[in-house]
């Protein structure tokens, strides 16, 4: 089962994301755009992993994160990752903070103990992906430099484990487990 661990975002961030994506489309960018119901902040992409291991992971994270403090992170601006001279991914930047980094490291440590492999590039760059680019207008840098978003605060009191089913019309995400910091593990049976 194709799986990832994420933080959910607010309706405000989803609304602003839709507005930014709409603006980018009008500018002529073509991409695999993320639908608003699929927007999130990915902590770990686990790839294909068996169901039993996902269940065990949820239980281990439940124990490890019990009592972890609720916190919030700020979504601050529009950004992009580039490859050579072209944008590859458009996203909303998430301001790194100590508690978010600690959460990431706690989970990373637990997954390493369990020998679960995950996409580990070594440095965690929190962001909300808007789309993976297929085509960019020639003057793309000039076009995107004025995209401005309001600073938004996203409260966090749980992590969510999702399955991702690829379809011709885009991925379908389904939450499997919600690990709450204040205790509690919800299962989506």
Active-site positions? 40, 127
Answer whether 30's CB lies under 8 Å from 133's CB: yes
Three-state SS for 132-164 is EEEECCCCHHHHHCCCCCCCEEEEECEEEEEEE
Tokens for 188, please give them. 């989506």
Q: What region does 84 belong to: left with phi over 0, alpha with psi -120 to 50, or beta?
A: left
130 to 79, 80, 96, 133, 186: CA distances (angstroms): 10, 10, 18, 10, 28
- What does DSSP assign to residue 79? E
- What does DSSP assign to residue 170? -
Tokens for 150, please give them. 């309001």
């Amino acid at each position: 089962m194709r799986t990832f661990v994420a933080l959910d975002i607010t309706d405000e961030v989803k609304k602003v994301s839709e507005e930014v994506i709409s603006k980018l489309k009008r500018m002529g960018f073509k991409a695999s755009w993320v639908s608003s119901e699929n927007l999130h902040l990915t902590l770990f992409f686990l790839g294909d992993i068996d169901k039993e291991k996902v269940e065990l992971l949820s239980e281990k994270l439940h124990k490890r994160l019990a009592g972890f403090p609720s916190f919030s992170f700020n979504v601050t601006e529009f950004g992009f990752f580039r490859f050579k001279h072209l944008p590859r991914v458009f996203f909303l930047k998430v301001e790194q903070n100590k508690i978010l980094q600690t959460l990431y490291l706690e989970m990373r440590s637990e997954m390493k103990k369990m020998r679960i492999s995950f996409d580990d590039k070594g440095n965690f760059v929190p962001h909300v992906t808007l789309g993976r680019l297929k085509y960019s207008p020639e003057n793309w840098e000039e076009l995107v430099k004025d995209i401005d978003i309001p600073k938004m605060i996203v409260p966090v009191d749980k992590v969510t484990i999702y399955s991702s089913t690829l379809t011709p019309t885009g991925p379908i995400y389904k939450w499997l487990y919600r690990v709450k910091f204040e205790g509690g593990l919800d299962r989506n049976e």
